């Protein structure tokens, strides 16, 4: 039994837990549909823990826990956690950066002098990946969906700028997507595979988020964009799409190891 501090970010899909163990931070993940598992794990693993909660499901979890808990605003917790993780990895991003959290939905923030301001978001996020993939493939398991996406060819589904500009040099990079899911000429001749479709869904999500972030970065005169959220878990395709698309837009992308636990880490360190 540990006497420990615990930070919990109970989100729309996943519950992220960060807890102190000697001088280390440890992580644990649960489904938001199985809050009882979180409760029994805490009861069996900790003795009088100090708990700080954040995220949309925090109140439901607090009611089930029947233990004293503190609370921190989700966006502040996330920003605190990101700053902590950046420092741990000795990453210094300058005066300001854009922070995009691709969770169930996507939230976008400007972080300046350690303070965050939410500047926008989009309903296109990890939940979109789950929902559209389910509609197209009948699969509900995240790991399985990502596995299927690995063999996908987006060229069978999406239309690039270079597909439109035939015989002339396009005014913008030919590698940019002109229309996600817009390659109707090819789609109608040759039905795409499940892998092609899921890879293109990931493309749609990644490129939508990058586009909003790039505009936000220009507005706030920032060069760096930090991407976090569980949608990146074991998801190299999303990471690559976002990396390449951000660089194509002349900004610097950063991905944090354990970045999906930022909110939980922020809640944890706010206890100290
Ligand atoms: N094991 C998993 N089960 C379900 N979804 C997963 C899993 N691993 C990764 N994901 C992806 O992560 C997304 C959820 O990300 P995250 O945990 O950051 O969001 P959240 O905090 O629960 O939601 P929000 O912040 O919007 O309330 C899912 O929509 C899915 O795309
Ligand atoms: Mg979240």
Which of 8, 9, 13, 128 most suits a substitution to test ligand 1, by most atoms within 8 Å of the C-beta? Answer: 13
Do 26 and 141 lie in a common domain?
Answer: no
Residue 90 is assigned to a structural domain of this protein? no
Q: Has 207 been annotated as catalytic?
A: no
Q: Which residue is catalytic, options 37, 50, 66, 74? A: 74
Q: What is the pLDDT of residue 213?
A: 98
CB-CB contact of 27 with 258 (8 Å): yes
Q: Residue 153 and residue 155: Cα distance in Å, rounded?
A: 5
Do 34 and 127 lie in a common domain?
Answer: no
Write out the residue range of the structural domain in which residue 248 sits.
122-255
Residue 103 is assigned to a structural domain of this protein? no
Which of 14, 38, 129, 146 most suits a substitution to test ligand 1, by most atoms within 8 Å of the C-beta? Answer: 14
Band of residue 22 on the pLDDT scale cut at 50, 70, 90: confident
pLDDT tens digits, one per residue of 140-173: 999 999 999 999 999 999 999 999 998 999 999 8
As a whole number, mean pLDDT of residues 10-27 equals: 95
Do 61 and 139 lie in a common domain?
Answer: no
Residue 89 is assigned to a structural domain of this protein? no
Q: Residue 215 and residue 108: Cα distance in Å, rounded?
A: 11
Residue 47 is assigned to a structural domain of this protein? yes
CATH number at residue 60: 3.30.420.40
Q: What is the pLDDT of residue 21?
A: 84
As a whole number, mean pLDDT of residues 181-195 equals: 96
Q: Strand pairing partners for 255?
A: 227
Do 144 and 229 lie in a common domain?
Answer: yes
Q: Which of 148-152, 173-177, 249-253, 262-266 is predicted least confidently?
A: 173-177
Q: Does residue 8 carry a pLDDT above 70?
A: yes
Do 133 and 235 lie in a common domain?
Answer: yes
Based on the structure, what is the number of domains in the chain?
A: 2
Do 47 and 132 lie in a common domain?
Answer: no
Q: What is the pLDDT of residue 242?
A: 98
Sequence-ordered alpha helix ranges (H) in the chain: 35-45, 58-65, 74-88, 126-137, 142-149, 161-164, 184-189, 194-219, 236-248, 262-269
Residue 147 is assigned to a structural domain of this protein? yes
Look at residue 46 and give its three-state secondary structure. Answer: strand
Q: Does residue 2 carry a pLDDT above 80?
A: no
- Tell me if 14 CB under 6 Å of ligand 1: yes
Q: Does residue 1 carry a pLDDT above 80?
A: no
Backbone angles phi, psi at 22, to 5 degrees: 55, -125
Nearest atom within ligand 1 for CA of residue 74: 25
Average pLDDT value over all residues in the chain: 96
Residue 17 is assigned to a structural domain of this protein? yes
Do 130 and 69 lie in a common domain?
Answer: no
Residue 35 CA from chain centroid, whole number: 21
- Tell me if 121 CB under 6 Å of ligand 1: no
Do 248 and 152 lie in a common domain?
Answer: yes
Q: What is the pLDDT of residue 101?
A: 98
Helices 236-248 and 194-219 meet at what angle, rounded to 10?
A: 40
Do 69 and 140 lie in a common domain?
Answer: no
Band of residue 23 on the pLDDT scale cut at 50, 70, 90: confident
Tell me the CA end-to-end span of the chain in Å, nearest whole number. Answer: 20
Do 247 and 128 lie in a common domain?
Answer: yes
Radius of gyration of the chain (CA): 20
Name the closest-CA residue to atom 6, ligand 1. Answer: 142
Residue 249 is assigned to a structural domain of this protein? yes
Residue 169 is assigned to a structural domain of this protein? yes
**Which ligand ends up closest to the CA of 78?**
2
Do 66 and 136 lie in a common domain?
Answer: no
Residue 63 has which token pair? 């009611």
pLDDT tens digits, one per residue of 221-246: 999 999 999 999 999 999 999 999 99
Q: Does residue 108 carry a pLDDT above 80?
A: yes
Q: Residue 54 and residue 31: Cα distance in Å, rounded?
A: 15
Q: Residue 45 and residue 50: Cα distance in Å, rounded?
A: 13
Q: Residue 44 and residue 50: Cα distance in Å, rounded?
A: 15
Contacts of 157 (CB under 8 A, 6+ apart): 181, 183, 186, 187, 192, 196, 197, 199, 200
Do 214 and 131 lie in a common domain?
Answer: yes
Nearest atom within ligand 1 for CA of residue 101: 18
């Amino acid at each position: 039994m540990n006497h420990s501090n615990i930070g919990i970010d109970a989100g729309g899909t996943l519950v992220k837990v960060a807890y102190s163990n000697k001088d280390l931070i440890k992580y644990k993940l649960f489904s938001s549909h199985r809050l009882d598992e979180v409760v029994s794990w805490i009861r069996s693993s900790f003795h009088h823990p100090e708990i700080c909660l954040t995220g949309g499901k925090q109140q439901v979890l607090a009611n089930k826990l029947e233990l004293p808990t503190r609370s921190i605003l989700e966006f502040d917790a996330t920003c605190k956690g990101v700053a902590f993780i950046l420092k741990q990895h000795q990453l210094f991003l300058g005066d300001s950066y854009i922070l995009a959290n691709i969770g169930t939905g996507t939230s976008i923030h400007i972080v300046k002098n350690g303070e965050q301001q939410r500047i926008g978001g989009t309903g296109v996020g990890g939940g979109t990946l789950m929902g559209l993939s389910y509609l197209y493939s009948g699969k509900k398991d995240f790991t399985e969906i990502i596995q299927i996406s690995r063999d996908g060819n987006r060229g069978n589904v999406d239309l690039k700028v270079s597909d439109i500009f035939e015989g002339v040099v396009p005014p913008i990079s030919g590698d940019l997507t002109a229309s996600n899911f817009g390659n109707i000429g090819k789609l109608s001749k040759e039905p795409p595979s499940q892998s092609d479709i899921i890879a293109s869904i990931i493309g749609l999500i990644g490129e939508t988020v990058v586009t909003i972030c790039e505009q936000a970065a220009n507005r706030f005169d920032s060069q760096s964009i930090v991407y976090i959220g569980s949608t990146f878990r074991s998801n190299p395709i999303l990471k690559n799409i976002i990396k390449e698309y951000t660089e194509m837009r002349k900004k610097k992308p950063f991905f944090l190891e354990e970045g999906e636990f930022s909110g939980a880490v922020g809640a944890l360190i706010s206890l100290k």
